[in-house]
A and B are shown apart, each in its own frame.
Chain A
Amino acid sequence: RKEVEQDPGPFNVPEGATVAFNCTYSNSASQSFFWYRQDCRKEPKLLMSVYSSGNEDGRFTAQLNRASQYISLLIRDSKLSDSATYLCVVKVDNDMRFGAGTRLTVKP
């Protein structure tokens, strides 16, 4: 079983749609959680950290459920510019472990 698992997608949604990505992790001792964004043929960049209380940044909302070892990312009112791969990242033993990513394409 992979340490961090994501639905690979792809998700193809129209502009304005709401889309949700899920991620599960296997190590209960995981320390911190993040979502990174990676554009095609570019390097990953931090989108947002994920806190136990849930957190929001504009159209993006992240949730963490430690009991279920589950992380989610919700994108509201999707824009064309949201098209990218979204990587779930878990910090384990001070190492950052990446999921395989979920690919999102937002269409006009």
Chain B
Amino acid sequence: EAGVVQSPRYKIIEKKQPVAFWCNPISGHNTLYWYLQNLGQGPELLIRYENEEAVDDSQLPKDRFSAERLKGVDSTLKIQPAELGDSAVYLCASSWGVAIGAGELFFGEGSRLTVL
């Protein structure tokens, strides 16, 4: 069975340029997460989707970040314009749901962004 697929794996851009990351979750997983991970830190939640609905986007910097999950499957995370501090790994994860006890998140390999 295919895991969570993310692209691109690596992206180098200059500041003020736009960038987009794509995620395809595991088939049948209705919950999708975008996390940001800086070096030496744990993943920090940006947004969580239940099907196509963004149920928690409180940590998403909405002035420059946007996300969508059309049709409740694939998702895209966009940054426009990118800043130097956005350099990080952007991780997508999916799970069966949020029922108590349902705790396994399946992560993609991440998209490593470098902003110059």
Q: Which applies to chain A's interface (DSSP): helix, strand, loop or mixed?
A: strand
| Least CB distance, B100 to chain A, in whole angstroms | 6
For residue A31, which residue of chain B has the nearest CB? B100
Interchain nearest-CB distance for A27 vs B (Å): 14
Report the minimal beta-carbon distance from A10 to chain B, rounded to whole angstroms: 10
**Which residue of A31, A43, A100 contacts B107 across the interface (Cβ within 8 Å)?**
A43
Q: Are A96 and B100 in contact (CB under 8 A)?
A: no
Nearest-neighbor residue (CB-CB) of A4 within chain B? B42
Closest B residue, CB atoms, query A42: B109
A97 close to chain B: CB less than 8 A: yes
Interface range for B: 20 to 34
Number of CB contacts from chain A to chain B under 8 A: 53
Nearest B residue (CB) for A91: B103
Does A43 lie within 8 Å of B56, measured CB to CB?
no
Q: For residue A45, which residues in chain B have a CB less than 8 angstroms away from its CB?
A: 107
Q: Which residues of B contact A93 (CB under 8 A)?
A: 56
Q: A43-B107, A43-B110, A96-B33 are in contact. Are A32 and B45 (CB under 8 A)?
A: no
Smallest Cβ-Cβ distance to B108: which chain A residue: A43
Within 8 A of B (CB), among A47-88: 49, 87
Check if A98 sits within 8 Å of B42, measured CB to CB.
Answer: yes
Residue of A nearest to B100 (CB): A31
Interface hits, B49-104 → A, CB 8 Å: 55-56, 91, 98, 100-101, 103-104
Which of B105, B109, B110 is within 8 Å of A96, CB to CB?
A: B105
**A43, A96, A98, A100: which contacts B103 (Cβ < 8 A)?**
A96
B residues within 8 Å of A by Cβ?
Answer: 33, 35, 40-45, 48, 55-56, 91, 98, 100-101, 103-105, 107-110
